[in-house]
Structures are given as structure tokens and as C-alpha cells.
Chain A
Amino acid sequence: GQNIDQPTEMTATEGAIVQINCTYQTSGFNGLFWYQQHAGEAPTFLSYNVLDGLEEKGRFSSFLSRSKGYSYLLLKELQMKDSASYLCAVGSNDYKLSFGAGTTVTVRA
């Protein structure tokens, strides 16, 4: 099974940087995903890591360390529209995704 931990809430100021950490324990690892979910909406894909290291995509970057069972999502130059829940998800060899409870990020002016 999967055990995925991430902080419940984070608050940051517009223009700042926020780092959301995720730790996991899993069998049959097949990638680490980050999804964004605005209130009342479906989760949308942000990033995918399967090898160790940093993946950068615009204002968002994601890092993975497989040996430590650790990932983080870095949000730079925060905008008000970035206020959302960020879900860490672990992929398994049978192509399922198991999700953490999500981190609610609130961006303040």
C-alpha cells in the first residue's frame, strides 16, 4: 500500500515562494505526481517525476529523491490564482495513483 504525507495548510504572500513537501512509502514505485485542485473543481496535472532530480516548468518546479521517499513542489512568484489544494500522488506499477490528503495553499495580497 501507500502512505503519503504532506502538510495540511500553507499561507504565503503574493510574489513569494512556497515549497510543499511530500513524503511517501510505497511498493512498486512508478512516478510521483503533483496535481492542483481549485475548490469545487477537478484535479489538474502539474508535474511528474520518475527519476531523481528537479523538473522545472515555468513558475512550478518539482523535485524527487527516490531513496528518501521525498518530493517537493516549489511555487515561485505566487499569484492569487495559485490559491488551491496541491495533491501529491504516487504512481504504482499497476498504473494506479494514490493521493495524499492535499495541502491547501492560501495566497495573500
Chain B
Amino acid sequence: DTGVSQNPRHKITKRGQNVTFRCDPISEHNRLYWYRQTLGQGPEFLTYFQNEAQLEKSRLLSDRFSAERPKGSFSTLEIQRTEQGDSAMYLCASSSGTGNTGELFFGEGSRLTVL
């Protein structure tokens, strides 16, 4: 297994367009997380899944954002009607969630630029 995979790595879009990011976690990991990171800041929690169940959504996640993990494997994060303030790095992470330290393994991220 090569770790957490995210695509696309970069996305440039015009304001008002919809974008979708995909995350493939480490295969045996049942927890999957989405974070957002802007320049000079730490990752901010957006949402997370245990298997296919979405357990928590941050207040940062407006109704323009939706995340799914339909079969408990890969996940998608969709942003509708993008705004310039959505420009950020969107990080996906996974963890095994069973009897471990809770360490998160991060993907390389999907960088979104909204023009």
C-alpha cells in the first residue's frame, strides 16, 4: 500500500463552479478525515467518517460542502458554488481506529484555487 492518495493534486476553478476531490485511504483504515489548511495555519477539521458513517461535521462545513464515503473505502469532498474564500489545501487523512494511538496518516493534499 502506498499510503493515502488524493486527486486532483491541484484544481483551479472560477468562482461559482463546483469541484470534487477524491481520497483513497490506506486500505485497512476504517477512519477517514478531511481537513482544510490555509497558508501559515494548521489543518482545520472539516469532517470524518468511520467506515461509511459520517460521524461529525465542523461548523466550518457550510451547506455548500458535502462529503461521502459510500462503501467505507474512498471518499469524495464536493464544494458547490465555490467562493474565493474556499481557496485552500484540502487534506485527507486516515487511521486504523482500533487500539492504536490515533495517529493520522495524511495524503499530499488537493490544492484549490478559486479565481
Contact = CB atoms under 8 A, between A and B. Distances in A.
A103 to B, nearest CB: 10
A42 B107 contact: yes
Given A41-B108, A95-B97, A96-B33, A101 B103 contact: no
Interface in A24-60: 30-31, 33, 41-45, 48, 50
Interface residues of B, number: 25
A96 B45 contact: yes
Contacts of B101: 31, 33, 48, 50, 91
A79 interface: no
Contact of A87 (B4, B31, B43, B102): B43
A102 B40 CA distance: 8
A100 B43 CA distance: 8
Interface band, chain A: 20 to 34
A96 to B, nearest CB: 6
Interface string B21-62: 000000000010101000011111100100000011000000
A97 interface: yes
A99 interface: yes
Contacts of A96: 33, 45, 48, 56
B104 A45 contact: yes
B79 interface: no
Contact of A101 (B33, B40, B107): B40
Contacts of A4: 42
Contacts of B44: 99
B42 A87 contact: yes
A41 B3 CA distance: 14
Interface string B73-115: 0000000000000000001000101000111111111000000
Interface of A: 4, 30-31, 33, 41-45, 48, 50, 87, 89, 91, 94-102
9 contacts: A31-B101, A33-B102, A33-B103, A42-B108, A42-B109, A48-B103, A91-B101, A95-B48, A99-B43
Given A42-B4, A87-B42, 5 more contacts: A41-B108, A97-B102, A99-B35, A99-B42, A99-B44
